[in-house]
Amino acid sequence: MKKIIVPVDFSIHSEYALQTAAFLAKQANAEIIVVHMLELSNAIVSKSESYAQKETFFYLKLAEKKFNSFLQKEYLIDIKVTPIIKHFKIFSELDELAREENVDLIIMGSKGVSGLKEMFVGSNTEKVIRYAHVPVLVVKEEPITENFEKVVFACDFSDDDIDPLLRAQAFFKSLNSTLELVYVQTPSAKFKSTFELKEKIQQFLDKLGEVSFSKEQIHIVSDYTVEEGLRYYVNTHQIDMLVIATRGKKGIAHFFEGSITEDVANHSKFPLLTFKA
């Protein structure tokens, strides 16, 4: 891991993300690219060119001053930090920046959203998860400043999970952390008997090559929904982080079908790391 992006809006949650990035950067000797999105209103953009330029310059200088002050943190000492101010919103454009900078990880602070706001607006974090091609670490109520002792990968033992799982395994191996698997059995049309589930798990494990998991590292949970099952398992087993693969649904498919990954990111209080399938 050589580069980490942290988008900030100067809130306490973005500071949690920055402090988490500092912790990981020191372990990996990585650079932190701190990005602030300067979103200019349509009112400014629609003004005369000369006036808009002056007002844009004013807001840019104001943001730079606040940005520099925000980055005066003791925990950033001895870390290479590159501040960037961008004039775009924080959705697909952040992924474009990650590609340009050859970034390995995006870390975001989030307090989540719910209800109608979630349905029609969603959170910035949710949209970054949907678009990002690199792993996204979502930090919630406090920064991560210690090694992960208990980490689980939410798995349905499908072929789509193989590549994300192998990348997650390599990621946590570099941090000297052990990864385990959790599967949520729900009363749906995809329900499997004990025999069918054991057979599916074995077929999945056979495809992982040199990576292996013991029976003690595979956990089965039963609940009414996958999201509820994951939250229950993490909260009752003192899990430090949940890892989950995301398919990145967009547009009308996302509106009607939703995303388990994004729902967990919005509604849960524990750290979440996503890998694009």
Tell me the pLDDT tens digit for each residue of 148-175: 889 999 999 999 999 999 999 999 988 8
Residues 131 and 175 occupy one common structural domain? no
Q: What is the pLDDT of residue 37?
A: 79
pLDDT, one tens digit per residue, over 41-55 is 444 444 445 544 555
pLDDT, one tens digit per residue, over 85-141 is 877 555 667 888 999 999 999 999 887 554 433 333 346 777 788 888 999 999 988
Q: What is the pLDDT of residue 191?
A: 84
Residues 131 and 205 occupy one common structural domain? no
The kind and range of the H/E element at 115 are helix 115-120
Residues 110 and 152 occupy one common structural domain? no
- How many structural domains comprise the chain? 2
Its domain, for residue 219, covers 147-277
Residues 26 and 97 occupy one common structural domain? yes
- How far, rounded to the nearest angstrom, does the alpha carbon of residue 108 sit from its chain's CA centroid? 7
Q: What pTM was estimated for this model as a whole?
A: 0.84
Residues 86 and 219 occupy one common structural domain? no
Whichever domain contains 231, its CATH number is 3.40.50.620
Residues 260 and 234 occupy one common structural domain? yes
* Domain-terminating residue out of 142, 163, 195: 142
CB 178 within 8 Å of CB 151: yes
Residues 56 and 189 occupy one common structural domain? no
Q: What is the pLDDT of residue 272?
A: 92
